């Protein structure tokens, strides 16, 4: 009996020791690198969008690592699949925090960003000294840097109102367009697109008639033909849509099959499968407002970076702002130390940064990046094409960073 007890104790002791050892090795290996959590859809309807942006982040990390890392530490992007679902995202957030990650990256879906920013705010309040930072590279519901802003959230893309301001400014010069049709995804982001469009058109072009203002379920529609048919019946001079990912691809596919000839003013018509679905019929018709497209003037160094990326991953270089976010983040981390989240956030506030396409800055008031925007058209005869279609985007209009800044209602509480 006594022997049995000794054996039992020894086993328990050994198990504990092994646990301790494993735990220790994990800790020590985490100390010489920085793990950043990337929480976005990697499967399902929006999986291709997540796949593309993840590749950009991994490439950005590899460039930083090649240059010696951040404060000598290597950066690693750890992907978490949230299936574009807010509830799953909170579970993935907890997983990432449990694994010791302090930087959370997300962008695809304002509903997800809204859940994450709320979750992170709560977590940081309850766990002082272990704060996490939210890097939002694409969720553009204006509320995130207005009513729902907080100290831990930084947005590296222009929000819906800024993008719509650019589109409606362009509309001011287009006297031929007398009516528009708005098609949006039925969730917070789509509602924001629709509301901003209606409001700004009333301000800037009161003569334009809004002949349709439709919402469709996000990610559920596989055949947009009935919607396209409806737009054609409404005889709109232009279509405005905020659709992204497969909702954009399938919409434009249905439009080109039906031979629709109206211009499309889009936020995300320039990538992630949409150009492949457009083909020749969309030349001159599809426009986008973005911070980047491949035919912008740039240094040879930047062009080589784009080429290297496309060669390495076999997919289009689309998200310039991902490199901006990583560049600014690493600058802030160098300054404040890689573990000091409050310091990093404070360093980001008001930071100015030189991108290959002009100067940008992170507005301290609401943590909204102010950057130049470009309206461009899907055209023939361009230097660089998109998705091997032979067509690419040409700039119509450059909106300087300052001009695209809008006032904010954000009143955030800062840690003392």
Partner 1 sequence: METIVFSLLNGIIYGLLLFMLSSGLTLIFSMMGILNFAHASFYMLGAYFAYSIGSVTGFWVALFLAPVLVGVAGAAVERFGLRRLHAEGHVAELLFTFGLAYIIEEIVKIVWGKIAVPYKVPAALDFPLFELFGSQYPAYRIFMLVVSLAMLFALWYLLKRTRIGLIIQAALTHPNMVAHLGHNVQRIFMLVFAAGCALAGLAGVIGGNYLVTEPSMAFTIGPIVFVVVVVGGMGSLEGAFIASLLIGIMQTFAISVDATFSDLFGWLGLSASSELGGISIPSLAPTLPYLLLVLMLMFRPRGLMGAREF
C-alpha Rg value of the chain to the nearest Å: 23
Q: Check residue 62 for interaction with partner 1 (CB under 8 A).
A: no
Q: Order the strands of the 373-379 sheet from edge to edge.
A: 209-216, 179-185, 238-241, 264-266, 286-290, 373-379, 392-399
Q: Minimum distance from CB of 25 to partner 1 (Å)?
A: 30
The token pair at 290 is 């973005």
Q: Check residue 389 for interaction with partner 1 (CB under 8 A).
A: no
Give whichever of 216 and 321 is closer to partner 1, judged by the CB atom: 216
Stretch that binds partner 1, among 134-142, 226-234, 298-306, 349-357 (CB under 8 A): 226-234
- Please give the Cα distance from 270 to 254 (Å, whole number): 16
Q: Check residue 122 for interaction with partner 1 (CB under 8 A).
A: no
The token pair at 283 is 């030349």
Tallying the residues shown for the chain, one arrives at: 416
In 173-329, DSSP assigns E strands to 179-185, 209-216, 238-241, 264-266, 286-290
Q: Which of 53, 246, 266, 373 binds partner 1 (CB under 8 A)?
A: 246
Contacts with 86 (C-beta within 8 Å, 6 or more apart), sequence order: 109, 111, 112, 114, 115, 116
Give whichever of 216 and 394 is closer to partner 1, judged by the CB atom: 216
Q: Check residue 413 for interaction with partner 1 (CB under 8 A).
A: no
- Please give the Cα distance from 156 to 368 (Å, whole number): 7
Give whichever of 62 and 281 is closer to partner 1, judged by the CB atom: 281
Stretch that binds partner 1, among 138-146, 225-233, 283-291, 349-357 (CB under 8 A): 225-233
Q: Check residue 48 for interaction with partner 1 (CB under 8 A).
A: yes
Cα dist from 105 to 118, 137, 277, whole Å: 14, 7, 29
Q: Which of 39, 42, 201, 286 binds partner 1 (CB under 8 A)?
A: 42
For helices 160-172 and 188-204, angle between their N-to-C axes, nearest 10 degrees: 30
Q: Which of 34, 37, 39, 47 binds partner 1 (CB under 8 A)?
A: 47
Give whichever of 44 and 390 is closer to partner 1, judged by the CB atom: 44
**Contact of 329 with 351, CB cutoff 8 Å:** no
Q: Check residue 258 for interaction with partner 1 (CB under 8 A).
A: yes
Q: Check residue 415 for interaction with partner 1 (CB under 8 A).
A: no
Q: Minimum distance from CB of 232 to partner 1 (Å)?
A: 5
Three-state DSSP at 378 gives: strand
Stretch that binds partner 1, among 114-122, 146-154, 253-261, 320-328 (CB under 8 A): 253-261
Q: Check residue 358 for interaction with partner 1 (CB under 8 A).
A: no
Q: Minimum distance from CB of 24 to partner 1 (Å)?
A: 35
Q: Check residue 51 for interaction with partner 1 (CB under 8 A).
A: yes
- Number of Cβ within a 10 Å radius of residue 357: 19
Q: Which residues bind partner 1 (CB under 8 A)?
A: 42-45, 47-48, 51, 186, 212, 214-217, 220, 222-223, 225-227, 229-230, 232-233, 246, 250, 257-260, 276
């Amino acid at each position: 009996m006594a022997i049995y007890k000794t054996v039992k104790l020894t086993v328990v002791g050994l198990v504990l020791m092994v646990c301790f050892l494993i735990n220790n090795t994990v800790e020590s290996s985490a100390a010489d690198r920085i793990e950043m959590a990337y929480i976005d859809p990697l499967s399902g309807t929006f999986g291709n969008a997540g796949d593309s942006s993840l590749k950009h982040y991994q490439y950005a990390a590899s460039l930083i690592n090649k240059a010696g890392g951040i404060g000598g530490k290597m950066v690693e992007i750890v992907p978490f699949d949230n299936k574009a679902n807010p509830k799953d995202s909170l579970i993935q957030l907890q997983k990432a925090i449990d694994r010791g990650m302090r930087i959370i990256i997300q962008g695809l879906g304002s509903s997800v960003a809204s859940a994450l920013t709320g979750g992170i705010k709560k977590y940081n309040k309850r766990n002082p000294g272990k704060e996490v930072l939210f890097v939002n590279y694409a969720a553009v519901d204006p509320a995130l840097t207005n009513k729902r802003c907080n100290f831990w959230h930084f947005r590296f893309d222009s929000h819906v109102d800024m993008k719509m301001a650019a589109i409606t400014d362009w509309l001011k010069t287009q006297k031929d367009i007398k009516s528009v049709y708005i098609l949006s995804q039925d969730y917070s982001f789509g509602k924001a697109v629709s509301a901003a469009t209606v409001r700004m058109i009333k301000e800037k072009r009161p003569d334009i008639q809004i002949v349709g203002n439709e919402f469709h379920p996000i990610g559920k529609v596989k055949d947009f033909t009935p919607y396209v048919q409806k737009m054609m019946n409404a005889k709109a001079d232009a279509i405005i849509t905020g659709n992204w990912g497969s909702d954009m691809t399938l919409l434009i596919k249905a439009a080109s099959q039906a031979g629709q000839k109206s211009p499309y003013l889009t936020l995300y018509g320039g990538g992630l499968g949409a150009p492949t679905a457009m083909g020749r019929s969309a030349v001159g018709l599809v426009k986008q407002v973005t911070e980047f497209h491949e035919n912008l003037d740039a240094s040879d160094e930047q062009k080589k970076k784009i080429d290297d990326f496309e060669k390495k991953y076999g997919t289009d270089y689309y998200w310039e702002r991902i490199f901006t976010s990583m560049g600014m983040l690493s600058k802030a981390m160098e300054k404040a130390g890689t573990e000091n989240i409050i310091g990093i956030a404070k360093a980001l506030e008001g930071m100015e940064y030189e991108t290959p396409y002009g100067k940008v800055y992170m507005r301290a008031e609401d943590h909204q990046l102010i950057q130049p925007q470009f309206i461009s058209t899907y055209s023939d005869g361009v230097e660089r094409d998109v998705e091997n279609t032979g067509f690419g985007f040409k700039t119509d209009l450059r909106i300087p960073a300052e001009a695209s800044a809008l006032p904010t209602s954000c009143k955030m509480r800062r840690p003392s």
